[in-house]
Amino acid sequence: MIDKNITAIVLTYNEEKNLPRCLRAIHHWCPIIVVDSFSTDRTKEIASQFGTLFYENKYLNHSYQWNWTFSHAEIKTDWILALDADYVVTDDLKKKIDLFLAGDHLPFNGFYVHHRYKFWGSYINYGGIKKKWLIGIRNGHGTSDESGLVDHRFNVTGKIGNIDGVLISDNETDNDLSYWMRKQDLYSLRLAVEEELRRKNLIGWSGRKSILGNTDEKFKVYRDTWMKFPLFIRPILYFIYRYFLTLGFLDGLGGFLYHFQQGLWLRMVVDMKIYELRKYKLTNDELISLSKRMLQTKTGSLRELLADKPSPF
């Protein structure tokens, strides 16, 4: 039994390429729980090889999966380290988490760490991307905002600290461009539907939002502001901001591909799907029904989900 007051929880689905590296970094350091979405590859076998506590639950989105985990997993420690399978906790970060936990008299219920994302062999250091991620949560003091249909943000009660250590995100499957684009196609529909739900005040943020707040509280303000910009223009402005004004061009070839794909192409596809969605002129009830059916599928196609309605074009 590992004598550590923090449990690492890893969410997985078909992560046989990423999971060994993730678990190897924290194996023998802290207890590990894997919450899987009924993988069809070797994910469960790999988790068992590292002696993890293993759960399975149907995946709707990240926020739902995290809240299910907080409610159902047997977490015996005071702290939770919230991870995805493509995260690697560095040795330096582990040491700094240990120091943080040793000084646990401090009034914190969560902590941010520095985040480094790797894409096609390049670390993404510029481009205005999110530099700090909240991955440390005191057990019983955090939930995930389920109004986010793609991204997730934790709401933590009380003060949140910062740890000066690095978490690396390096998703091996994202190096397969076809896989990455299929994933973005799915995400783009969810982002489009989420924006329409917010625009019509059918969903709202949970937790505090403030331009003077922490990273996630600021993000909510930025997203609300983003919705006020005109479709098809805002992706171009966003790419200029990321690639030129915040020095994304210094991230090398992988950085260019990432900023172009994620900062321009994906945002343009989201706007195209918003435009298409508005052409259907759905009622509020129809839009809510669509959002629920969308989370049960793995399609990024509005045409498939609205097959009973005539094409708006």
At 104 the pLDDT is 67
Letter for the amino acid at 77? T
Q: What is the CATH number of the domain that holds 87?
A: 3.90.550.10
What pTM was estimated for this model as a whole? Answer: 0.93
Q: Alpha-carbon distance 58 to 153, whole Å?
A: 20
Task: Looking at the structure, tell me whether residues 139 and 94 fall in a common domain.
Answer: yes
Both 275 and 188 in one domain: the answer is: yes
Strand, helix or coil at 24? helix
Backbone angles phi, psi at 90, to 5 degrees: -70, 160
Flag whether 288 is in a domain. Answer: yes
The answer on 187 and 297 residing in a single domain is yes
Say if residue 68 is in the same domain as residue 187: no
d(CA 37, CA 252): 35
Same domain, 64 and 115: yes
Residues 137 and 72 in one domain: yes
| 210 found inside a domain | yes
Q: Does 207 reside within a domain? A: yes
Q: Is residue 311 part of a domain?
A: no
| Domain contains 306 | no
Query: Same structural domain for residues 153 and 209?
Result: no
Q: Are residues 250 and 186 in the same domain?
A: yes
Residues 65/135, Cβ–Cβ less than 8 Å: no
Angle ∠(73,111,214) on CA atoms, nearest 5 = 120
Per-residue pLDDT of the chain (313 residues; tens, 9 = 90+): 466 899 999 999 999 999 999 999 999 999 999 999 999 999 999 999 999 999 999 999 999 999 999 999 999 999 999 999 999 999 999 999 999 999 866 799 999 999 999 999 899 999 988 899 999 999 999 999 988 899 889 999 999 999 999 999 999 999 998 999 999 999 999 999 999 999 999 999 988 999 999 999 999 999 999 999 999 999 999 999 999 999 999 999 999 999 999 999 999 999 999 999 999 999 999 999 999 999 999 899 999 999 999 999 8
Count CA within 13 A, CB hemisphere, residue 68: 16
Alpha carbon of 218 to those of 116, 138, 222, 223: distances in Å?
A: 20, 22, 6, 9
Same domain flag for 202 and 213? yes
Has residue 308 been placed in a domain? no
Tally of domains in the chain: 2
DSSP reduced 3-state for 41: coil
Query: Is residue 138 domain-shared with residue 178, that is, in the same domain?
Result: no
Quote the domain boundaries for residue 261.
174-301
Please indicate, yes or no, if residue 312 is contained in any of the structural domains.
Answer: no
Residue 243 has a CB neighbour count (10 Å cut-off) of: 23
What span, in angstroms and rounded, lies between the C-alpha atoms of 97 and 113?
9
Give the DSSP letter string of 160-191: EEEEEEEEEE--GGGGSHHHHHHHHHHHHHHH
Last residue of a domain, one of 129, 157, 172: 172
Same domain, 20 and 131: yes
209 CB-side CA count, 13 A: 12
- 148 falls within a domain: yes
Q: Which of 139, 172, 205 is the last residue of a domain?
A: 172
Domain boundary residue among 172, 203, 225?
172
Is the same domain home to 295 and 217? Answer: yes
* Calpha distance 9→131 (Å, rounded): 21
